[in-house]
Each structure stands twice: as C-alpha cells, then as structure tokens.
Chains A and B, each alone.
Chain A
Amino acid sequence: MTVTAAPVPGPRTRARRGAGSGRPAWSFVTFLVALVVASPVIAVVVDGVLNGREATMPRGLGGMVVTTLLLMTGVGLGTLVVGGGLAWLVTAYRFPGRDVLVWLLVLPLAMPAYILGFVFLSTFDAAGPVQSLLRDVLGDAVAFSVRSLPGAIVVMSLSLFPYVYLMARAALVEQSPTTYDAARSLGAGRRRAFWRVVVPLARPSLAAGLAIVMMEVLTDFATVQYFGVKTVSVGVYLVWKGSYDFHAATQISALVLVFAVAVLAGERLMRGRARFTQRGGRGAGLPAERLTGAHGWAATLACLLALAAGFVVPVIRLVGWAVAEARADPEAFVDERFGEYLANSLAVAAIAATGCVLLSLVMSHAVRIGGGRVVGSAASVTTFGYAVPGAVVGIGVLLVFAWADRALEALGVPNGTGLLVTGSVLGILYAYLVRFLAPAYQAVDASFAKIAPSMTLSAMSLGAGPLGVLSRVHLPLVRPGVAVALVLVTIDAIKELPIVLLLRPFGFTTVAVWVYQLAAENFWQKAALPALVIVAAATVPVYVLFRQIRATDRRDARER
C-alpha cells in the first residue's frame, strides 16, 4: 500500500519541447529502462498466451474469481461510503475539530492492512476481548468467527478509505465555485445542487480513487490470508510456493492482470468522454455550512470513529502489547533477530531507492535534453509498473530470470544465473524497481519541470555536455525532488510485503515478513514492536501529504 499513488485527475501535462535534439546514448538508456520495467509484464502475457493449454489449473479457481470480485466490490463500496462521506463532511460543513480532522483522516494510510488485519482479528475474534465481553453479558452462546470475507472487507476498507477521501476532497475543493452558483441560481436547492452538479463533477476523481483502492486489493495476498479469503492473487502465491508450478502460476497471474486491466478500463469508462477540468472562476461556491449542537458533535464523532478504527485504536493496541511484552520479559523484549531483519529491510529499501532515483534522474535528464516524443513515451512506460499487482510483477520477474537462465545455458554457462528456484534478493530488487520507479520518477520529474528549458540551453551553450549539465545544473536544482523520491521509495519498500513473500530466498526475512509470520501464528505481542516500527516509518510520507493538504487549504482560505 502506498501513499503516493494518488494521481490527481486533471489535464495531463503536455509533453515539453526538449532542450536540444537528443543524445543517442541517453535516449538508449531510457529505452533500456523502459524495456527492463516492462519485461516482467510482457513475460506474463507472452507466457500466459503461449503455454495456456499445458497448465493444470488449481481446483477452486472459479471460487477465487468470485471471491476476488466480491472482495473488490465490497472494499470499493466500503471506501466509497467512508472516504467519500468523510470528504463531503469536511468540505461542506464546519464542525468542532474539523480543521484538525481534515488532515488527520489521512493517517490510516500509515497503517498497512496486514498490520490492521491482525489487530482487528485479535480484538474481534472469538477469543478476543469484544466477544468475551459479549459472552459475559449475553451468555456463552456468543461465538462467531470474523475470519471471513466480510471481516477482510471491513479491514481493507478501513485501511484504504483515505485514497477515496483524498481524491474526493481534491475534487470537491477544486470544483469551480461558479458551477455550484449557476446551479443554485437556476433554482436548485442545496441538496439538489449537490446530487445533480457536485457529485457528477466529482465522479472521475471518485473513479480514480476507487481504481487505486481496487489495485491495492488486487495486489494483496497477505492480509486476506489471515481471513481465509482466497483471491486470485492468493492463488498465484499458493501455487508458486506450494508446487513451484511455473505455468499454473503464470496462468493465474495473467488472470490477475486481466482484473487489473478491467479496473483501469472501468476507471476510463467512469470518467467517460466528458472533460471535467474546470478553470477558476470567482464565486461563493459550495458554502460550508456550520453544524451546531448535536449535529456538529455527530459529525466530529463520525470522523473520530473512522480515525480511531483505522489508526488510533490499533496503535494503542500495538503499544499496549509492546509494553506488556517488555514487562513480561525485559531480556527477550527485543528479539535478537530483529536487528538482522531490520538491517535486511533497510538495505533492500536503500538499494531500491537509490536505484529508482538514479534511473529517474537519467530518464528525466534524457527527456530534458531532447529525445522527442518517443523517449518521453518510453519514460512514461516505466511508470505503469505501479499499477501492476504484486503477484504479476513477482511471477513476471521469475519468468524473466528463467529466460535469462535459458539464454545463459544456451551460451554455455551451466545452471545459468541460478537465481530462479531459490528466489533471490536480486529478484526482490528487480520487482521493487518495477513497482516503485513510478513514484520516484514522478517526484524527480516534478522538480525537473520547475527548471526552465532556457536554463538547460544556457548550460549547453556554455560548453557543458550532457553529463556536465546533469551534474552542474540539473542535479543541484532537483535536490528537493530527489530527497522526496528517496524517502518515498525507501518507505514503500520497507512496508512492502507480498513481493518479498513471493520472491525471498530461503532464510531472508524483512521486518514486514516477520510481522506477517508472527501475526499469522497469533504471536501478536511479539509482532507489536516491529509492526510499530513499520507504522512509524509509514507515517513519514503521510506527513508529506499532510503538508500538501494544509497548503491547499491555506490557498483556499486566501482565495475565499
């Protein structure tokens, strides 16, 4: 799950005219990166089509498809109600605590679903405190399992609703005030103007938010396993880890890819042919109505409930466990393996972040020194990996390695790379590159966009070659973007669970994997401390988001 995935819908930035007519070497590197990033997905598609008949499908595939559909629909509805509702509440009304809550509501993004999931289970399952309490009150007959599809839907909705919340809020805030005023002046009441004008105009943003949510649902195969929910992504994982049946795993991951494409197509369809960007315009717009008395406090309570369920209560539970664990056994409180796993997480994350940022720099620079439209397209190809579910990326990476093995064997190297069956850290890094190049490239490219082309041209005319322009002018000027990119990718990589689970070599464990393993075996108290470490790290990008939201809020306040 990733915070940066929220691309605000709007007019696409037009391809900038490059400074200069391009350099073959730099353009070539960009094509190479695009090829490397696209290879795993191409591999899944090609292998899925070529070897379709040979594979023996696992039993229950139909059930997996149905489960996936139900889960995606459920979480979609859940996030739409919670995220969309809260966005409407904080935009259209003023109530006690609204100014703080408006940005605190993003916090659940820092709580990965695989952590929220086990806290939820420990709290609500048959042996948990809630059911125990109910039994005390209602008698022993109360005992039901929350390890179910509805349980998974609730947890994932609580963890993912901020995506819809963010997109919906941005859409509501950015709506041109004149549109609402026009509707009102044409005789529509407040409620009617909302349903007939505001909501339809926000539709593309809601669709974009939902698309991100569904992609996250599709990419997960860890959280759902707590709940015994078997989606197609879980199918990929189980088939690969259970039988190392390459063809079957590829077939199912091709199926996952079909789901992903369907989500993107659905988003396009929802967006429709209409263009919803609205330019400026003065007017009062949707006036924020002040809620007083019980209504005001009810609104506050609604926000607090979502915040508590998605972030505060789980954090309190985790802290409580960690403290209890420390009290019970101060010696063994910090497991000796913790240091090793943390080092693994950090090392992999640091390498991935550095690699992503370096490639982003090279690509942005290549586009800037003028590769033309083709190089620009190649650079944007590298950002699509973000929308590819982890199971597809994972199997795709393995397929690419398998091809590399075969190619090396054909060239006379025995056993090829030897990377395939055992899994490897290199595979994890490759998959990270595919998944996380997008946020890095977007952050770096945003900084590049602020450098006027004439700056680049001046440097070139003063005798600086492409490398000189990069090191002497571009690099010093894009440092902010580089810093943001490094932080974002590092934290995404620390949080990432499915890819590591799928690709890790025997004996290689990261903090995320450790939390998952402990939680899967109900060692909740032991899982608390590493889980808190991940939540703390994940709060950093959320903080970056806070600042953005506060900045837009201030700008609004000035304009109103």
Chain B
Amino acid sequence: MSADTPALRLDKVTKRYGATTAARDLVLDVAPGELLTLIGPSGCGKSTTLRLVAGLDRPDEGCVSIAGETVADGRRWQPPEKRRVGLVFQEHALFPHLTVARNVAFGIDRLPRGEQRARVGEMLDLVRLGHLAKRYPHELSGGEQQRVALARALAPRPAVVLLDEPFSSLDETLRAQVRAETVGALRETGTTALFVTHDQTEALSTGDRVVVMRDGVIEQADTPQAVFESPATRFVASFMGDADFLPAHVHDALLTSEIGVVSTVPGWGNVDVDVEVVLRPHEVALAPDPDARAEVVAVEYHGAFVLHTVRLASGSTLRSWQTHAVRYPAGTRVAVSVVPGIRPTLLVGDHAVSEPPR
C-alpha cells in the first residue's frame, strides 16, 4: 500500500434499518496514523458507522475499504474476523475466563509461541501493565481494564482501531489520565483510530480531525479549530460549543445587527443581504450602561468565568463569558458589542456561507 492510500475509506455508504436510514451517503477518508473523533447526538449514526467499518453490519449501498482493500460493497463482504480492525468498547469486554496476557494474545494465536510472548510483552509495556500479565480481568481497576482492552486490540497490528466511547465508564478524575495514555499509545504505535465520543471537549481536544454527524449524515469533517471557529452548519455551531444566533445584515462589506456593527466582511462589497450571525459567548463583550436597552437576565458562576445571559431589546438573548472578577447582577443595563477582531460565521438558512449568496 502506498503512503497516500487511506487507512479507511467510506464511499457513499448508506445503511437502513427498516424505515429509518441510520447512515446516508457517508464519504470519509482517514489517513494512516490519523486520529479521528466521531461525535453527534444519540441516534446520529456514529455507532452504525462503527458497525459498518467493523463488519458487524452490511451497508445497503456504497463501499467500505480498509488499507486499500475493499471489505464491503455491492458484491463483496468480509466478515469481521477477516478485517484488520481493532475494537475497544466502553465496557472493555475483556474475556473474564482468560488472564491479561492471554486476553492480549487472543488475536495473535496464529503466530509462533515465542513471537506471541514477545508481542504480548511489548503491548503490555506500551500500556505499562507488564506486572499484571497473570491477573484476571476482575482483579483489575476500570482504568487498567481499559488499557488491557487497548493492548489487546493493538496486538494484531490492525489497520484501524475503533474506540466506542472508551472512557465514559470511567469516573471523571480517572478519565483525563486514561485518555492521555490511550492517545499516547495510539500515537506511539502510529495507529489509525476512529474514536466515538459524546463529549464535545473530548472530541475537540483529542482528534486530528472531528467528524460531526446528525441524522445519519456527516455535517462536517474538519480540524477541531475549523469545526469550532467555522462551523459548516447551524447544527454544528450549536452542538460544538455554545452559540447564539442573531439576525444580521451585510451591506457594502459591513455586517450589522441589533447590537450595531459586528465586523467587516471582506469580498462582500456589492451585496445587500439578510443573514444570521453566529456569536459564541467568548466573543460577546458587555459594558454597564444605564441608558442601554439590553438587560442582564441571568448570571451563572462557573469558577474561572461567569456566564451572563443578556436580553436585547428585540427579545433575543445572547450569552457572554466574563472573567471571574466581573459580575453584573440580573437587571443591570448593559451595552452589548463584540470582541474586536473576530470573523463570525454567517448563516443563510441552516448553512454557513463564506461568499455572498447570489
């Protein structure tokens, strides 16, 4: 396989369960060594995508290929045991009747005994559990079980590893640490990974790219920055972080809304159109002003920051992060503006626009 052969390719993959379409025309290339996070509300099709890649379900249309080899299309279908796909589950799914070492060796039983032992040792060292090789799964902590599950999935050198919400069964304090270790192990082995999560922060901080799904459709697949700063749709904007939407107008490259001039829009010189502007709380600035028509209606203390909810004269609300020292009580009249220098996302309908609509 050449260097630019994608480790995983979905080409117009569609899967229906009865009347519901769980995945529709999915198109996705994952480069070797890439770490992709897959996020969306429940029922968005992320688990279906995982099942299609692992070979647990057959696509109704389209083609799945792994490391250049077509594993599912109209004619061919490879069962899961023939695909080079590793699986890591939320509930770990270690074999309770086998020791840690034999769990890890499960997928490499066709190798000679000596190679098996070497590979098991290598994998357990990778997740720093060499000393627990003889233990049984029930004798391990949740975090240790998670690491064994990863070592077991990596042992047969899969072309791609699928992780299905692997950290959600761990408690909060442990989660960040196990996540860092898991990502470290994946990076160290150069493993391609597809990582399902429902935690927006986790998706943004972990993946090289983030794939946002809804209703069986990929809404956006891009770098974390791009997904957060230039969401492709209204859904992505509100799902990946907090966002408020205000009716706005572009005239002669100037974006104005109820709160005044928001920004300039280069390249939109000769247009005069209505749009909506996406404003995130950290982009909204407040200043107390007894004569202003906007009013603080709610204040939430979040520790480092204080979230203010402001009702504008039109009745629309905006949220604004203020540093923890700033606290305008409810009822305070405030002047609302945007933080200088931002380039907010503009929506026409439910989709973001980057150039003037015709």
> Chain A nearest CB: distance from B77 CB in Å?
8
* The residue from B85, B91, B95 contacting A461, defined by CB atoms under 8 A apart: B85
B89 at the interface (CB under 8 A from A): yes
Closest to A465 in B: B81
Residues of B at the A interface (CB closer than 8 Å) are: 54-58, 79-83, 85-87, 89-91, 93, 95-97, 106-107, 110, 149, 152-153, 156, 158
Closest to A23 in B: B79
Q: Which of A19, A20, A465, A476: most chain B Cβ within 10 A?
A: A20
- Taking A20-B79, A461-B83, A462-B86 as known contacts, 17 extra A-B pairs with beta carbons closer than 8 A to each other, sorted by chain A number, are A20-B55, A21-B56, A452-B91, A454-B87, A454-B90, A457-B56, A457-B80, A457-B89, A458-B89, A458-B93, A461-B81, A462-B81, A462-B156, A463-B82, A464-B106, A473-B95, A477-B97
> Chain B nearest CB: distance from A460 CB in Å?
4
A462 and B91 contacting across the interface, CB-CB below 8 Å: no
A339 at the interface (CB under 8 A from B): no
Q: How far is the CA of A386 from the CA of B304 in the complex (A)?
A: 67
Contact with B along A369-411 (1 / 0, CB 8 A): 0100000000000000000000000000000000000000000
Q: How far is the CA of A20 from the CA of B96 in the complex (A)?
A: 21
A554 at the interface (CB under 8 A from B): no
Q: Which 6 A-B pairs have the closest CB atoms?
A: A462-B107, A454-B93, A460-B80, A454-B89, A461-B87, A458-B93
**Would A457 and B106 be within 8 Å (CB), given that A21-B58, A23-B79, A468-B81 are in contact?**
no
Contact with B along A505-531 (1 / 0, CB 8 A): 000000000000000000000000000
Residues of B within 8 A of A23 (CB): 79
A347 at the interface (CB under 8 A from B): no
Residues of B within 8 A of A465 (CB): 79, 81
B106 and A462 contacting across the interface, CB-CB below 8 Å: yes
Enumerate 11 A-B pairs (CB-CB under 8 Å) in ascending A order.
Answer: A20-B56, A20-B80, A21-B57, A21-B58, A457-B54, A458-B152, A458-B153, A461-B81, A464-B81, A468-B81, A477-B96
Residues of A within 8 A of B79 (CB): 20, 23, 460, 465
A49 at the interface (CB under 8 A from B): no
B91 and A370 contacting across the interface, CB-CB below 8 Å: no
B89 and A463 contacting across the interface, CB-CB below 8 Å: no
A472 at the interface (CB under 8 A from B): yes
A532 at the interface (CB under 8 A from B): no
Q: How far is the CA of A473 from the CA of B81 in the complex (A)?
A: 14
B93 and A457 contacting across the interface, CB-CB below 8 Å: yes
Residues of B within 8 A of A461 (CB): 54, 80-81, 83, 85-87, 107, 153, 158
> Chain A nearest CB: distance from B52 CB in Å?
10
B56 and A459 contacting across the interface, CB-CB below 8 Å: no
Q: How far is the CA of A518 from the CA of B354 in the complex (A)?
A: 97
Q: How far is the CA of A370 from the CA of B55 in the complex (A)?
A: 12
Residues of B within 8 A of A468 (CB): 81
Q: 8 Å CB contacts to B: which residues of A21-44?
A: 21, 23
**Would A463 and B107 be within 8 Å (CB), given that A20-B79, A457-B80 are in contact?**
yes
B106 and A472 contacting across the interface, CB-CB below 8 Å: yes
Q: How far is the CA of A477 from the CA of B94 in the complex (A)?
A: 12
Q: How far is the CA of A23 from the CA of B79 in the complex (A)?
A: 9
Q: Which of A20, A452, A461, A463: most chain B Cβ within 10 A?
A: A461
Closest to A18 in B: B56
A455 at the interface (CB under 8 A from B): yes
Residues of B within 8 A of A454 (CB): 87, 89-91, 93
B95 and A455 contacting across the interface, CB-CB below 8 Å: yes
Contact with B along A470-494 (1 / 0, CB 8 A): 0011001100000000000000000
Residues of A within 8 A of B97 (CB): 476-477
Q: How far is the CA of A452 from the CA of B95 in the complex (A)?
A: 10
**Would A370 and B106 be within 8 Å (CB), given that A452-B91, A465-B79 are in contact?**
no
